[in-house]
Chain A
Amino acid sequence: MPQEANISSRLAGSRGSFNRALIIPAIKDVFVKLDPRVQLRNPVMFVVEIGALLTTIFTLRDIAVGGRTMVALNIQLAAWLWITVLFANFAEALAEGRGKAQAETLRRTRSETTAKKLVNGRVQQIPASQLRKEDIVLVEAGDIIPGDGEVIEGIASVDESAVTGESAPVIRESGGDRSAVTGGTRVLSDWIKVRITANPGETFLDRMINLVEGARRQKTPNEIALTILLIGLTIVFLLAVATLEPFALYSGAPVPVPVLIALLVCLIPTTIGGLLSAIGIAGMDRLLKRNVLAMSGRAVEAAGDVDVLLLDKTGTITLGNRMATAFIPAPGVTGEQLADAAQLASLADETPEGRSIVVLAKNKFQLRERDLGSLKASFVPFSAHTRMSGVDLEGRQIRKGAADAIETYVREQGGSLPAEVRDTVAKVAREGGTPLVVAEGARVLGVVYLKDVIKGGIKERFAELRRMGIKTVMITGDNPLTAAAIAAEAGVDDFLAEATPETKLKLIRDYQAKGHLVAMTGDGTNDAPALAQADVGVAMNSGTQAAKEAGNMVDLDSNPTKLIEVVEIGKQLLMTRGSLTTFSIANDVAKYFAIIPALFSVTYPELGALNIMRLATPQSAILSAVIFNALIIIALVPLALRGVAYRPIGADAILRRNLVIYGLGGLVAPFIGIKLIDMLLVALKLA
């Protein structure tokens, strides 16, 4: 079951917008959405539907009365007006379809689970849907975790692919930042006791279902503002068309109502009106494709506006672990001697730092790995008390550790830390590295340079962000000296050193007070306040429940650099809306030139001078404009679902590019399209 619910595999199967499995249910929805109560959510299309209805009534009346003149035209007009509404419905249904399919699989995962509830130490089998907050359940190998919760006892490996799509199991244990479990995931080995933290219907899985399904989709602030503009335009055109009738009567050229309705539908911004909700849903969907769950459309939109990005150093900017990059011997010691001692001290050290020392020794001095057992060595593990680790063998005692810890150690042996080594330590720290001092007995051998390794390509990524107008700030617990060095190497704009939850929160507030929009990622419980304060807070799915609750997005892959993609998706969302609005408005120019001369061709044949497209007849002109208006909606569905491409080339360059494509294109395209349809209509003898 969980395998089927894997989101990324589902998505891999439905990359294209016109996947057959999505289209068929979408077509069903198209007719359900004709319900005026549904249409009322979208005022522009509501007007079209009313127009279609009126045209139909007028046409039926004409047929009943036996009028012949306009019936052929009116039937076609009515048909195309209905088609316009259906096309817009289709766009929305298609956008919703993908989420609905996912929700369906997720829902199946949830409903079939039974829980082993612990009551006074005894196990009771109950359906997962009857679990309440604060219940304690036992989950053993092979069981599906029945609800969201905190591990209170035990440790287990968990397959979370049902929510993350990531097949590698993760460890969940009580205490610390790895204690959160998600309902619907499966325990692979061992057992855990879980305290349930969410009632049925409020779990992560439920929220996810709601989100992907778009059931509780609320209009985002920018969507509302745009809708107001669209309503305004619709009213303007409604007035322009409605008052045309008295003017026309005055001029002795009355216009039939269906033709006026056709004009109105052509003029009101149906292109953007019909695609607006599809654009919003598709934006959430694109996030989901990248395994990011946005808790609201508002958060996606805010992501586009983000101009300050707070990034944790470890795991985001640098690889999680420090690596040994150089051996700096003390006076009178060769590099090889130092490397040899350091290697011996690290052989049994399974930490990534320890292993990196072994690797470096091999690379620099061809020192092969030796078997500790055959050397009769005993490993001295790191302890919080001594803050050193090392090895004892054949009378040699090798230790490595922080400078002050080793200094204390050699003093006890009657030695001292040479001044040169002290300088080296300071120098390494200044350069952003961590100095690890190696000593044998009372003699200090030198320093191993442990360095934070900046992730490959991250510098370019930051440069890209800078071009997008986004400032990057590195957050680290390091001292300011080290932090400054790493910040310079990684190319971030600013850094916060010796960060605590309080200073993080304060930093976010300071930026916000200056009007900036701040995004950050986090996973720990102590990140929760900052995640909540940030305008866009992306919680890692591997993080704690508290972090996930506080953020407004959850990254199922737990990949902190994904913020950059989130920002791009937010920008795409806004750009797509703007571009299609511009396109929609620019289209109207051509439609006027098609319809106005046609309306008054009898009274004022001179207006034919405006018929610059040389459309064949007044009927074909009106019909062509209406057909173009309907077809353009369906033609732009892929663009609405995919989004307008974003490139970090600066606002002015993007604007110029989009203006040419959607502004100028919107002006020219309908002239060509309407003319072609007109020629086709004439060829088919439809008008």
Chain B
Amino acid sequence: MPLLVTASATPELANWSNLALYSAMAVYTIAMLLFASHLAALGPDTSADASADASAAGAGADRADSADRDGELVGAVAGSVAGSVAGRSVLDGSSPTSSVTATPTGSSSGFGDDGTGGSLRARKLGATGMSMTWLASILLLASVVLRGLSVARAPWGNMFEFATAGATVAAFAYLLLARRHRWEWLGIFVVGPILLTLGTALLAFYTEAAELMPALKSVWLVIHVTVAILAVGLFIVAFGLGVAYLLKVRRDAAEVGTRSRRLAFLDSLPSATRLERSAYGLNMVGFILWTFTLVAGAIWAQKAWGSYWTWDPKEVWTFVVWVVYAAYMHARATAGWEPRKAMWIAIAAFATVIVNFAVVNVFFVGQHSYSGL
């Protein structure tokens, strides 16, 4: 690992890295404003109300339909359906309105394809927001790369570096998913947290570019922390989707007349079922990565500290995060639990991710004292 061990910091590159970070934040701010206007433009549109009714009706039909399917499946699958996965999630039946023809990929976008993509103005705002987010994310990536070059190692050796790298992953995860699903509406739910993360990283966690402490000089830094960063990035996007889902469910349940006009953009979002499923998918991949983080961390701890598990505060919280996400996975697979309740567990799990990062590193005494503060 000569790459990890050698060389001290090059301050010029670190300055360029910071400059790129500031620029990224400025552009993200613009993107956030654009996304906000995008949502606002989506909202009070008259066509939105119509689509709301349609989607509510669709949801109702979904429910009836899936109940029907359940019955049919019980017959078809004849008793061999064991355990948890039976019941709710067996088949979320096809809604009668959508029984049209071959989409070979099956991943049609949730909104936009049925013509309710909002006004031209809304679409323009959304598209510009996306472009700005691309620009900002490329700047952010440049900042991370420059930081890595300046310290001649993987740039996630302290909290500041971890936060910027995690935000970068979240940004690109969102951008790539948004390309596939037309998730312009999700922008504000992702860019907002990213801006918050970057701001906190700069104001509270900023650490001068420097060489690592000996315990961190290991290939496991690259393995363990990279996977942790990926996991957190996915959890962030899943959290954004989860919040959107919960808002949407609440709005769907409310009487049409009593719905807040401020949240009218929710009507243009994909159906609650779709949102929930996307959030679940991201959380699921995040959970697998987090499990890997936990195991890789234990292997590293065995090498660096002589014991794979010592209940160090960071280990405790990594475990807590894992257990709460595991609870979410179980809740979602349980027939008796509504997906809405399960989603609240996912939100709680995301809160533990935040605690694990922002509180444990700074306030608890332990071996993971790499905050650099």
> Is B truly associated with A?
no
Binding site for A on B (CB under 8 A): none
